[in-house]
Structure 1
Amino acid sequence: MVVIAVAGGTGIAGRAVVADAVQRGYSVRSISRKVPPAEDPRRVDGADYREADFRTGHGVAAALAGVDAVIETLDARTGAALKSLPSTSVALLAAAGRADVARCVLLTIVNAAECSMGYYQVQAARARSYESSAMPTTVVYATQFHNLVAGVFSAGARVGLIPAFTGVSFQPIAAVDVARVLVSEAAAGLAPDAPRHVAVRAGGPSVWSMKALAEQWKSATGRHGVVTPMPLPGSFGTFLRAGKNLVPDDVAGSIEFSDWLASR
């Protein structure tokens, strides 16, 4: 049986990957620095939970023993944890090589290298490590998740203004849709004739203006606040207005933002 390990298997993306791989009948290991307790909602029935830290190396060799493919969904938003992500990815690749893992798959962001924001540059550095690795690798470049877009609206609603940045559109994708791509690419990468390095772009089912998404969010949640067009200055605004966050020719998702909202 194919054994798939998910680094960061208790996060939003990681949980979706674990669930998808278990549903397909793979043997699945969720690897994280802390193993959630038995009744924790982050756990997926049928998965094996292992404690390991790729930054320090603690528990990594045991967690990767006998693994065929590793899917990396590790993430951090700020501080030292964010700064260490590129070196953590390098350490993961090295550990996978020592464990004779056949394929490593990374989740990152579409066109991250073209945005000067620190978070995006970190994601770009991780992708470069995979692309230049001696290990067989696949990098999945995804558009923004539904929950990230919803989080922006929720934060604004707290002060009565739901932001709709002028000239900005998103192509949001559900975590379960991204998970399906990641697991499929991990499995495909185990084929004897699989290319050594693969890059895949995965976008949501539709491109929507931020204003349209804000209106959908307000209608579905019943939250108060005025949908307010406003400029987004700086390099990130330039990146978004240029549509660098969009991949309309690479649709991988099937769940629209409105459908995701309704399901919650």
Structure 2
Amino acid sequence: MSTILVTGGTGTLGRLVAARLRAQRHEVRVLSRHARPYAVDLRVGGAALDAAVAGADTVVHCASTPRGGDEKAAARLIGAARAAGVRHLVYISIVGVDRVPLGYYRAKLAVERLVEGSGLGWTVLRATQFHDLVAGVCAALAKAPVMFVPSGVSDQPIAVAEVADRLAGLAVGAPRGRVADVGGPEVRSFASLAEAYLEAVGKRRRVVEVRLGGRVYRGLRGGGHLLPEGAVGTGTFEEYLVGRFGG
């Protein structure tokens, strides 16, 4: 069995990846800023990071934040992995990072480039947005008496468990470079997703679509973050809502 380090291993995706790898009897190390014994801030690195990667065969890099610092964190991780002789670096990215000019997407694309040029064996998987993210956006928008959503924008949410299954499978295999992207089973207007969320949580809100401006909005209206030809997921948003909120 392999020794596999999962960064962001206490997060939404990372904890599921770690659980699947443990179920296959791999030795799994979970790295996050507060998880002992591998409590590491990847943006800082240092001896704690070196200890976390020492002896690891594979690193699955799930740690990420829209608050900034992903590129610096990836550079630190790659440097430590090279020094430790890690054979395989697996990175989870997002569908559309090269098509939607969102700052966070640009950072994810930059990390992809770092991974590709790392000199390590590598695998990159892109996925569409998780159900959890869409529900979180809906929850924030539903705080107001009227729920304003962007007009002409669709989404294709996927179950995080399905992405974890795919990522864990890639982690135990040989490096494959950029693999086929994965997307959720349905491309849905954001308004319809908002309506489904409101019904699930029992809130009454008027959903109003509004036209926005800017390059990011144009990229989203153009479907740059969608993958209709790669709809491999099976879990729907409604099924996720029932599992989370009951029904």
> Normalising by the residue count of structure 1, what TM-score does the alignment of the two structures yield?
0.86
**What amino acid sits opposite 2:112 in the alignment?**
A
**What amino acid sits opposite 1:66 in the alignment?**
G
Once the two structures are TM-superposed, the CA of residue 72 in structure 1 deviates from its matched residue by 0.7
Tell me whether 1:95 sits opposite 2:80 in the alignment: yes
1:152-167 equivalences under 5 Å are: 152-167=137-152
Please tell me whether the aligned partners of residues 110 and 142 of structure 1 are also in contact (alpha carbons under 8 angstroms): yes
Question: Match for residue 18 of structure 2?
Answer: 18
2: distance between equivalents of 1:240 and 1:157? 21
**What amino acid sits opposite 1:165 in the alignment?**
P
1: distance between equivalents of 2:28 and 2:103? 32
Tell me whether 1:169 sits opposite 2:154 in the alignment: yes
**What amino acid sits opposite 1:118 in the alignment?**
G
Question: Match for residue 205 of structure 2?
Answer: 225
Secondary structure class of the residue paired with 2:73: helix
Once the two structures are TM-superposed, the CA of residue 85 in structure 1 deviates from its matched residue by 1.1
2: distance between equivalents of 1:158 and 1:258? 20
Tell me whether 1:141 sits opposite 2:126 in the alignment: yes
Question: Match for residue 5 of structure 1?
Answer: 5
Once the two structures are TM-superposed, the CA of residue 208 in structure 1 deviates from its matched residue by 1.1
Once the two structures are TM-superposed, the CA of residue 5 in structure 1 deviates from its matched residue by 1.0
- Quote the RMSD (CA, aligned, Å): 1.6
Secondary structure class of the residue paired with 2:180: strand
Once the two structures are TM-superposed, the CA of residue 188 in structure 1 deviates from its matched residue by 1.9
Question: Match for residue 216 of structure 1?
Answer: 196
Q: In percent, how many aligned pairs have the same letter?
A: 35
Q: Among residues 182, 186, 206, which one is paired with 2:167 in the alignment?
A: 182
Q: Among residues 30, 54, 59, which one is paired with 2:42 in the alignment?
A: 54
1: distance between equivalents of 2:180 and 2:51? 30
1: distance between equivalents of 2:22 and 2:232? 20
Tell me whether 1:252 sits opposite 2:232 in the alignment: yes
1:227-246 equivalences under 5 Å are: 227-246=207-226
Please tell me whether the aligned partners of residues 100 and 220 of structure 2 are also in contact (alpha carbons under 8 angstroms): no
After superposition, the C-alpha distances for 1:151-186 in whole angstroms (9 at most, x for unaligned) are: 221111111222332111111012111111111111
After superposition, the C-alpha distances for 1:185-212 in whole angstroms (9 at most, x for unaligned) are: 11122xxxx54x2333111121111122
1: distance between equivalents of 2:87 and 2:230? 26
**What amino acid sits opposite 1:55 in the alignment?**
R
2: distance between equivalents of 1:116 and 1:243? 12
Aligned length: 243
Secondary structure class of the residue paired with 1:167: coil
Please tell me whether the aligned partners of residues 152 and 163 of structure 1 are also in contact (alpha carbons under 8 angstroms): no
Secondary structure class of the residue paired with 2:105: helix
Question: Match for residue 66 of structure 1?
Answer: 55
Once the two structures are TM-superposed, the CA of residue 136 in structure 1 deviates from its matched residue by 0.9
Structure 1's unaligned 5+ residue stretches are 37-48
**What amino acid sits opposite 1:35 in the alignment?**
A
2: distance between equivalents of 1:57 and 1:182? 24
Once the two structures are TM-superposed, the CA of residue 146 in structure 1 deviates from its matched residue by 0.9
**What amino acid sits opposite 1:15 in the alignment?**
R
Please tell me whether the aligned partners of residues 153 and 163 of structure 1 are also in contact (alpha carbons under 8 angstroms): no
Structure 2's unaligned 5+ residue stretches are none
2: distance between equivalents of 1:144 and 1:161? 24
Once the two structures are TM-superposed, the CA of residue 55 in structure 1 deviates from its matched residue by 2.3
